Structure 1
Amino acid sequence: MPLISNKGIQMPSSPIRKLVPFAESAKKRGVNVFHLNIGQPDIKTPQIALDAVKNNTIKTLSYARSEGSEEYRKKLTHYYKKHQIEVTKEDIVVTTGGSEALLFTIGSITDPGDEIIIPEPFYANYNGFSVASGVKVIPVISKIEDNFALPKIEDFEKLITKKTKAILICNPGNPTGYLYSKEELEKLKKIVIKHDLFLIADEVYREFIYDDLEHTSILSLNGLEEHAIVIDSVSKRYSMCGARIGCIVSKNTSFIETSIKFAQARLSPPTYALLASEAALDTPQIYFDDVKAEYVTRRNTLINELQKIEGVKVTKPKGAFYCVVELPVKDTDDFAQWILEKFNYNNETIMMAPASGFYSTEQEGKNQVRIAYVLKKEDLISAVKILREALKVYNS
């Protein structure tokens, strides 16, 4: 029998999606499942984006430019300017989602065997993208006790080797919801300049910042022009996960020229999705104000309800729409499967993402889950009640 590659064997399963078969089985048994596992907002996509596809007059659905249409990239520069980010259309490469942006970035700056330092817990697919590129993730652990703040710079520095090519952060963070301050980013700026590394920032949740705090993009830091790479996406910003449009933004011309070669190899991003994404840039500010207010309500509801459960530890996210929750169980992989397979409360149950999949350090996060507060307030209250009752049964 032909053999599967070592790379394929090492490719991790998604902690977000691996429990889907158990959720589907529960639904077939007539059990209602509250999905807390995946960052799929229930917020409506801006009508202006949907109408751009519905009302188009395209006669031939042809290839787009590999780096994305000039019109879209030019319009993106105006969007970034509103966020105090000064870039040109030549600094942008449009990708098929933020996922492809990460793959192009890793492919452009690393060779097999190279290393990228990432504060953990981190977005689970960083592991998968690194394995696909033959790159090693070097984790630096942030702790729930510190609200998942940036680890000490000394912790980063002692991990840097000749093989280190970049530091990768998500700001605000998935899965923690942590928002890096400008002071923390300045510390990272100093270390990447000192060691001549790239600083990659996944900023796809830029719009979702709470408690009157402000987001600082690494592209706004002076002196970081040759080092900064931003990963962006329309998926969460406009609730357009299915469009699969993202981009890479960087002022490093050599990096951009290299990433365009990867873009050319896959030909082009999808034309209809480009149309929708370009139109979405005209979404009025009131849309974001309303969405943010809704997420603040959901966050506060979730945190307040979770804090009522004895033995549960949770931090208050400052951005995005996720939180990492520590549960009074030894193995949340087992618990998350059990709650779908063998438990229901009033014929309802919940689906969560075990947090071990958001770490690359062995045995870290085994008693944690990631919860996405993408459901309405009433459903979140019901979901936490189910969790409370499930913990009583499971631990008995």
Structure 2
Amino acid sequence: MTFADRIAAATAAIEPQLIAWRRDLHQHPELGNREFRTASIVAEHLRSLGLDEVKTGVAHTGVVGLLKGGKPGGVVALRADMDGLPVTEAVDLPFASKARAVWNGEEVGVMHACGHDCHVAILMAVASILAGMRADLPGSVKFIFQPAEEMPPEGEEGGAELMIKEGVLQHPTPSAIFGLHVTSRQPAGVIGYRPGPTMASSDKLKITVQGKQTHGAAPWLGVDPIVTSAQIVLGLQTIVSRNLDLNREPAVVTIGAIKGGVRENIIPDAVEMRGTIRSFDEGMRDTIHARVTELAEGIAGASRAQCQVCITKNYPVTRNDPALTEQMLPTLTRVATTGPRPMGIELVPKVTGAEDFSFFQRLIPGLFFFVGVTPPEIEPSQAHANHSPRFIVDERGLEVGVRALANLAVDYLAAQPA
């Protein structure tokens, strides 16, 4: 029996447990750097499989397990993110989340609105399957269960970047890493992939415009930061439309929040704007940062106001290694076109969402792909997106994720020199 046949049989056997894990995790979501219950469940499971090494407390709550195969070979890593979002669930499910927590000083509902509960359950199942094949496994598999992909709380470090600082890619060092994300953009079970830039870099933007407060009936006695901010917002739209070569890559500059003033007849002293910047090319990213600063400061100066621009880099571009993607595409295609519900594989467009899997890809070749979880009766374009309080998962897509990660690990190791 081939590795693929063994993985298929083992996946079918573990699917009920896979779904049970996912539902339990969904009902008990935890925010970034606070995934204590989730980490405990993962660590207990990995230890029960007899893994050679299980580390906990990595980057606060991360768990890392190492499975050494019975045959010599290389090392490959598989990653799943564990955290939920500060979102109050609006889906009527028997296992819907009722959890609440404090996020950046505010009490919030908590929900696995991005599908990380699926990712954890999938990787737990993969660990079970590969542990059952240990004697024939040609090399080692490092299982990385990562906290805080959705950003840690303000003032804290976390996520993939902190895991790397704490040595997750050392002792031993994997030569490749694979990860997946469930998505509402595709029907349940469809695999989506893309070589090269796949998900955008993500930067946080804060612009503070300082004017001079005055009575609203006498604006000439002050400097209006609200009008100045409106001009800046409009000006920012020209950065993408007029300053960038969009034949190369797309980009986004969005202002998502504006705060200023407390009363209709008072022109305030200051206005604060917050936004996000997304791009797929590091050179274009630097250009956007420079133009945002030049434009905002220029408009403010022309309006007799002062302006402070603060841009914080969050995540780099999620860039799938082209050679690794080409090497593993036959594996993904085989998985997508076989199994109990073969749904196929698609070359997907770039995604302007961001992923801190990108930090791993900066150091070793990585492949990050998508698995659809939208029920077949719903058109994906009409489905509630990831991060929505109404995001739903067709659990029939989960076994595809299990077979994909397990087959990628085994096929990659089998192709490496002993």
TM interval, shorter chain, is under 0.3
Higher helix share: 1
Q: Which has the larger radius of gyration?
A: 2
Higher strand share: 2
